[in-house]
Amino acid sequence: MRKVGVAILGLGVVGGGTYKILTEHREMYRKAYGADITVEAVLELRKDRALALGVPESRIASSIAEICSNPDVDIVVEVMGGVEPAKTFVLAALNAGKSVVTSNKEMFCKYSYELERVAKHNRVGLYYEATCVGGVPVIRALLDNLQGNVITSLVGIVNGTTNYILSKMSGSGADYSEALKEAQRLGYAEANPTADVEGYDATYKLSILSSLAFHTKIPYTKIYREGITAVTPADIAYGKQLGYCLKLLAIGKNTERGIEVRVHPTFIRQNHPLASVNDSYNAVYITGDSVEDVMLYGRGAGAEPTGSAIVGDIIYCATHLQHNYSTFDNTEKASPSTKFVNNFESAYYIRISAEDKAGVLSKITSILSRNGISVAQIIQEEDKDPDGKVPIIVVTHVTHEHNINKAVQDINAGTGDYAAVSSVIRVYD
């Protein structure tokens, strides 16, 4: 029987889940894959945590050097999070001839070009299914099952924290800060929620996934990003009236004009499959030229869902003679030949706070038409806001981002006394 020794760097939530799965399912892996996978070492400063999980004291290492020089360790699992010291530890493991499995999206997104170069040089594996969408096997699907397709779009709800907050706001009418507090109480959102609520976490994931989907390097810095902190219950409620549901979408499109990558709050039709992805669940909706639409759905975080992705990578790494690397030139920057579309096309929801008097609506519609924007729906509410203004909601047909920006500027400048734009939300069509 082939022996496969694993070392786990960090026994936090995901490390603990991985340890549990590996030890509980060891016998099944022996029978199914002919591999005896054992945890030979852990690197965890909180010794009591390791002992509580059942790790024998003799297997608790005190340094990365100890793990790198352990001949019984074949695969190092990095689940520490953050860029440093994780990156230094991963490079040390790769240079010591160990394959690496990681769940660290920030490190992988920013430095995969360097890590992969070192992995190739040392002829070891570098696996990262757990970096994106936790237990949902989207990376393997892109690498191993959908590779016959030209993938034209990949649209995902890839952040559970923000999906929980938006679902809560939509379900109970809570405002953003109440919903965030609830997410923190339940352990979905961190004490400092910036990475999730400002959309950084989603851009790291979209960078990794869209590079794989479109076979070209898409650095996260090329991704347009807008978080959910400005979302209001009023917009969610008006959206509902119009048949929409609000989600933080990560959108990647491979169009004739170039690559379009963006993360922002988006209205989607209530009957779109992504609209049914609620609470902390995640999903990725992929469109390929042959397969058409595929949606992968599941838990995007958590000890055992993420552990499931890590153990899948361990088994893949242990049972394949040849390692797979990126299908594109994995450089730090995008290739000069990759075109990015910044002035992307979308439909838009615009909420305008206006005085209820003759001529205001016609001024607004003439500004929209002057900017080449065609109106699909328009609602004027009868009830006044506390400041005596009435909300006017406009949904446009598909137009360009620059047209909308210009129209918003014109509405705010041109009819300042009568109307001001309160919010603009892109509509996915």
Interacting residues of 346 by C-beta distance below 8 A, sequence separation 6+: 398, 399, 401, 426, 427, 428, 429
Long-range contacts of 173-177 (CB under 8 A, 24+ apart): 173/233, 173/237, 174/233, 175/232, 175/233, 176/228, 176/229, 176/230, 176/231, 176/232
Instruction: Pick the closer one to ligand HSE by CB: 179 or 424.
Output: 179
DSSP one-letter code for 43: E
3-state secondary structure of 131: helix
Tokens 């450089």, residue located: 331
**Binding to ligand HSE, residues 220-279 (CB under 6 A):** none
Q: Which one of 18, 159, 216, 266 is in contact with ligand HSE (CB under 6 A)? A: 159
Answer yes or no whether residue 301 interacts with ligand HSE by CB under 6 A: yes
Query: What tokens does 55 get?
Result: 């790790």
Interacting residues of 315 by C-beta distance below 8 A, sequence separation 6+: 29, 33, 35, 37
Strand 375-380 versus strand 281-288 pairing type: unpaired
Instruction: Pick the closer one to ligand HSE by CB: 80 or 301.
Output: 301
Radius of gyration of the chain (CA): 24
Q: Which one of 40, 44, 201, 410 is in contact with ligand HSE (CB under 6 A)? A: 201
Answer yes or no whether residue 78 interacts with ligand HSE by CB under 6 A: no
Binding segment for ligand HSE (CB under 6 A), chosen from 50-58, 64-72, 153-161, 415-423, is 153-161
Count of residues of this chain found to bind ligand HSE when the rule CB under 6 A is applied: 7
Q: How far is the CB of 291 from ligand HSE (least distance, A)?
A: 26
Q: How far is the CB of 160 from ligand HSE (least distance, A)?
A: 4
Q: How far is the CB of 142 from ligand HSE (least distance, A)?
A: 17
Is 205 labeled as catalytic in the residue annotation? yes
User: 169-198 mask for ligand HSE (x: CB under 6 A)?
Assistant: ---------------------------x--
Instruction: Pick the closer one to ligand HSE by CB: 192 or 337.
Output: 192
**Considering 205, 247, 253, 389, which one is annotated as catalytic?**
205
Residues of the shown chain interacting with ligand HSE in the complex, contacts defined by CB under 6 A: 159-161, 196, 201, 300-301
